Amino acid sequence: MKVRRISASDTYQIRHAVLAPHLPLEAVKFLNDDDEDMSFHLGAFIDGKLVSVASFFYEKHPEFSDLHQYQLRGMATLPEFEKKGLSSELLNVAFPIIKQNFCTLVWCNARKSAVGFYEKVGFIKADKSEFEIQDIGPHFLMFKKLTDAF
């Protein structure tokens, strides 16, 4: 498995297939996707095939006081490649990059079904309140402090 930096457009097929197949492709194109000052995208490749993606956006959430924060979005692994450590590896590559940008916190709107995954990789629920994202489903706000050693 290899992790590489990819462009936003490289992520769209997997984002769409895994995260929102019931919505138009436009739904998985995010604000600042193509702005290299505001975001970066990582992909995991197996035998040259892109199978897992994650995107990171310089974005502050009002719930957290850290001055510099990143939002994790579009975390998706093709079903046949799940539970092989690919998403964790993408995060292991991303966290030092984010930390080097003087950001001390990563947050995400975690799908209820993926909360267990985020907990495994060190995220914590910001509060207990579940909220709904239209057309997608129930979510929790989660965060991980990057002040810890890793």
Ligand X SMILES: CC(C)(COP(=O)(O)OP(=O)(O)OC[C@H]1O[C@@H](n2cnc3c(N)ncnc32)[C@H](O)[C@@H]1OP(=O)(O)O)[C@@H](O)C(=O)NCCC(=O)NCCS
Task: Catalog residues that contact ligand X under the rule CB under 6 A.
Answer: 18-19, 52, 75-77, 82-88, 110-111, 113-114, 116-117, 120
Q: How many Cβ atoms are within 10 Å of 85's Cβ, its own excluded?
A: 14
At residue 63, φ and ψ (nearest 5 deg) are -70, -25
Query: Which residue has the closest beta carbon to ligand X?
Result: 116
Measured from the CB of residue 102, what is the shortest distance to ligand X in angstroms?
Answer: 25
Integer Cα distance of 18 and 114 in angstroms: 13
- Report in angstroms how near the CB of residue 25 gets to ligand X at its nearest: 16
Shortest Cβ 109–ligand X spacing (Å)? 7
Q: Are 81 and 24 in contact (CB under 8 A)?
A: no
Give the residue with the Cβ less far from ligand X, 86 or 98: 86
Q: Which is nearer to ligand X, 37 or 80 (CB)?
A: 80
Q: Which is nearer to ligand X, 8 or 86 (CB)?
A: 86
How far is CA 77 from each of CA 14, 53, 57, 117, 126, rounded to the nearest angstrom?
7, 6, 19, 12, 24
Rama region for 135: left / alpha / beta (φ>0; ψ in -120 to 50; rest): left
Residue 146 beta carbon to ligand X: minimum distance, rounded to whole angstroms: 18
> Nearer Cβ to ligand X, position 23 or 67?
23
Residue type, 68: H
